[in-house]
Structure 1
């Protein structure tokens, strides 16, 4: 049974991806900052290792990899945990720099630190890394300078990592606009019920990790997923 580490798995996209992998027979190590929410998610997911904590904490990152090692070592690392930053999102001219540092710590430094811990097992098992990104990393949307530039940074780090680690698949994955709490925070007071639920991109995600194409940027909505017989 393959083993996956998924961060930010208590709700939204992370929980949907974890459910998809669990149903496909993967063994999971999951985390989230909120212990109560993670406990509820673990009850839904079944037999998983659930470790509450923050990806910016080096000890927590080490604990996630140690838990995966106890299961045989990670075959897949999904860096999904992230924060939007201030809501409503400020223009760069007014962006609080302390808040910007936190956005970078959670969305860039934390994932890279976890990758560093996980790489020995991933190299040995020819495993895969998924770094969740956004179209805000490549488009100049007004008000998205903090979050978007952080996602641009993790995308570039992913490109370099793919060049440096030829035995590991590295995908920076744009799931599209989804009906999640973070997306609602980006549009406070607006109705986002027209956005699809996170579960809608799970088949494309599973197709990605099972078919293992070359490293690169992936938009889940662009993947052609074969229909089930």
Structure 2
């Protein structure tokens, strides 16, 4: 049973953060917990990593739940409701923001070689599960005029050989942000390009997927690492965490890059 929701705007905000076990998600959890007045966080991950588990032991305002967003759609709604939404409400009585950061790069293959069932799993993880979490949380977000931050990709607007499933699902995510801005004007929804971040995804692109991408494309990702262009996840985490807490209404519906000028204030640590 859900407890009554408080509309007290001075209450400690509650953030649901997915893909929290590593990379950008874990870095954002750490940033938010280190704030002078940290929010309450429900950290969602397919597997609760040792680092995330350790944070939960040492921070009473952090709760973790394991959810596999590749779960078939016939089962996913119940899983989202019980494991995510009801956990946040029963623990803290409100939901102020969603940071939807989970995703998969695979399958990396040309369309001519594609198993469309693999594309279906990618879209389930990268888009349809986002819709399911947002749908389930809308009622609570309306009450507090909350925020939704969607972690997108530069691949949503640029094509790479073999990236069809990933890029197309991220492009659809950007349109989903537009839809939310139109349909839910009291909720601020923004889709964010995190840039070239030093995560396991970049490692896979350098070490595994070069055989599918063209030589010039693969060389580009090798250069990102060797030249130092690649960005630590902790840098991006500051912008994402601050957007969850205070994204302005004029950003709603936009697809923005974490390092563009109009997000400068969100990149400053508080």
TM beyond 0.5 = yes
* Alpha-carbon distance, 1:228 to partner: 6.3
Asked whether 1:65 is paired with 2:64, we answer no
* Alpha-carbon distance, 1:23 to partner: 2.0
> What runs of 5+ residues in structure 2 fail to find an aligned partner?
1-11, 209-220
Which protein has the larger Cα radius of gyration, Structure 1 or Structure 2?
Answer: 2
What SS does the corresponding residue of 1:187 show, helix, strand or coil? helix
* Alpha-carbon distance, 1:58 to partner: 2.3
Aligned twin of 2:21: 10
Q: 1:228 to 1:54 in 2, by over 3 A?
A: closer
| Residue range with higher mean Cα deviation, 203-212 or 120-129 | 203-212
Asked whether 1:204 is paired with 2:239, we answer yes
Paired with 2:54 and 2:167, the residues of 1 have a C-alpha distance of 33
> What runs of 5+ residues in structure 1 fail to find an aligned partner?
none
Deviations 1:65-88 (A, max 9, x none): 1111121211010111111113xx
What SS does the corresponding residue of 1:172 show, helix, strand or coil? strand
What SS does the corresponding residue of 1:30 show, helix, strand or coil? strand
Aligned twin of 2:148: 129
The alignment's TM-score, normalised by the length of structure 2, stands at 0.78
Aligned twin of 2:106: 85
The alignment's TM-score, normalised by the length of structure 1, stands at 0.91
| 8 Å CA contact 2:142, 2:187 repeated in 1 | yes
* Alpha-carbon distance, 1:140 to partner: 2.0
Pairwise mapping of residues 1-229 of structure 1 onto structure 2 (< 5 A)? 1-24=12-35, 25-35=38-48, 37=49, 39-45=50-56, 46-47=59-60, 48-55=62-69, 56=71, 57-62=76-81, 63-70=83-90, 71-86=92-107, 89-189=108-208, 191=222, 192=225, 194=228, 195-213=230-248, 214=250, 215=252, 216-222=254-260, 223-225=263-265
| Residue range with higher mean Cα deviation, 179-188 or 66-75 | 179-188
Deviations 1:10-46 (A, max 9, x none): 00011111112222211010111114x1x53131252
